[in-house]
């Protein structure tokens, strides 16, 4: 019985340190604010840890898997990244993230979003 407890403790320590050592998106402004067509905008992503932005890359992915490196800066809150998006046509897009957590672990993720056509007002 003691060996089982030791084995369980070992796995918990090993796997919990791996889970906690990666930068994971916990909040995205894309969840609450739509991107308007043909207007530059900013997207805010919040991670569960501080981010080393100088070692990270964020790409805008558009139709045909075209990738464009986008500018990003650290936000006001710890773990927050502000991404500058150019004016986008209506369609499907993604942000491809290669993020280094402050502890040096690399995390990769894809955040998908869409830009709706402009609404016509009379």
Distance CA(25)–CA(107), nearest Å, equals 10
**Dihedral sign from CA coordinates of 37, 38, 44, 45:** positive
Tell me: pLDDT of 97 over 50: yes
- Pairing type for strands 35-36 and 106-116 reads parallel
Contact, 115 vs 37, CB < 8 A?
yes
List pLDDT tens digits, range 31-69.
Answer: 999 999 999 999 999 999 999 999 999 999 999 999 999
Phi, psi (degrees; rounded to nearest 5) at 40: -60, 150
**What pTM, to 2 d.p., does this model score?**
0.77
- Report helix, strand or coil for 73: strand
């Amino acid at each position: 019985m003691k060996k089982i407890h030791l084995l369980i403790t070992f796995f918990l320590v090993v796997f919990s340190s791996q889970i906690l050592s990666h930068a994971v998106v916990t909040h995205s402004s894309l969840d609450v604010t739509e991107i308007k067509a043909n207007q530059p905008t900013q997207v805010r992503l919040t991670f569960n840890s501080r981010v080393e932005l100088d070692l990270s890359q964020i790409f805008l992915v558009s139709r045909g898997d075209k990738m464009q490196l986008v500018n990003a800066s650290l936000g006001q809150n710890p773990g927050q990244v502000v991404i500058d998006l150019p004016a986008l046509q209506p369609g499907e897009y993604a942000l491809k993230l290669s993020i280094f957590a402050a502890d040096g672990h690399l995390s990769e993720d894809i955040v998908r979003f869409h830009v709706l056509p402009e609404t016509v007002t009379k």
